[in-house]
Amino acid sequence: MDRRQVTGILFTLFSTVCAGTAPIFGKLAYQAQVTPYTLVALRTSLAALSLWGFYVLFWRHCIPIRGSALAGCVAMGVANGLGSLMYYPGLARIDASLAQLLYALYPVWVFVFLSAAGQPVSRLAVLRLGIAIVGVYLLTFTPGARFDFLGAMLLVAAGAAYGWHLVLGQWTLANVDSRTVALYTITTMAVVVDVARLSMGDPVEPISPLGWVAIAGLALIAMALARLLVFAGLSRLGGIQTSILSVGELVVALILAFLLLGERMTAMQWTGALLIGTSMLMIGRESNLELEGWEQWLAAEMKKEQ
């Protein structure tokens, strides 16, 4: 692998660490009696406002954007915003382990969407996806967990929305700085979830200091920083590799739950974590042609359009 690919892997892995903190902050928010829709609206709005403030001060050159790139960012933000609005109601209806299993299968949707568009997929990438899926299942499977069909469908739809967001990002990031894409994508997400929250007409419940700490953690670490890193990785690796590596956030979440919340993993879950780690390490076995195949395919598609 060349330096660009290694950098993309590191960015994506760091993003999984940030995103893996979301369950910890989410539990703190729910302990503080913050409702799901208020939580998603406030954390997204705070993330967008923080990014705009930071960009104005330090990354002003990343703010200008072309109209075609802005359209791509808006499409990504709408997809991800709608996914967030489906994820939290679904999570409220079914067990967290089953919810994570259904949502974390978004790499399958990335494969489906890109394959439908005609992008070639390497056999090793398919193998790595299979290993990651088995690992996710072992990590999140709980015997006797109740099943709610509507909740399950909401989680599947949320995962599909996130997968589609990565596919759109692969196209948008072809000629746009990943920092610019992160800014306008998160801004669009904030508009989508805020409109949805306001349309409910319910007043925002009082939020305790603990609730604000949790919201700030979700906004700044699990969302703003995580998205900046994942888009930087996506621009270097493509949707398939990024989506597979991002599954590692489940492992991070379980480790943090073990250390900070006193939760324990079973032998089956440790086996799943090992399989996911194996899947991530196997990226080093793929050739440059396989890793950069999405770029060649994208260049050919853009040439056809011209």
Q: Could you tell me the pLDDT band of residue 244, with boundaries at 50, 70 and 90?
A: low
Containing H/E element for 131? helix 123-140
Distance CA 212, CA 156 (A): 29
Among the ranges given (28-37, 103-112, 228-237, 296-305), the one the predictor scored with the smallest mean pLDDT:
296-305
* 278 vs 95: which has the higher pLDDT: 278
According to the model, what pLDDT value does residue 289 have? 40
Three-class DSSP category at 265:
coil
Domain boundaries, the chain: 3-301
**What tokens appear for 8 in the block?**
């993309």
**What tokens appear for 75 in the block?**
């499409």
Is a pLDDT exceeding 60 seen at residue 274? yes
Three-class DSSP category at 153:
helix
Phi then psi for residue 141, to 5 deg, are -70, 130
According to the model, what pLDDT value does residue 291 have? 45
Q: Which of 108, 165, 164 is nearest to 137 (CA)?
A: 108
- What tens digit of pLDDT does each residue of 130-185 get? 887 787 777 666 666 555 778 878 888 888 898 888 888 877 877 788 889 889 99
Local structure of residue 285 (DSSP, 8 states): G
**What tokens appear for 145 in the block?**
């967990």
Mean pLDDT of the chain: 78
* Greatest CA separation for the chain: 57
Local structure of residue 206 (DSSP, 8 states): P
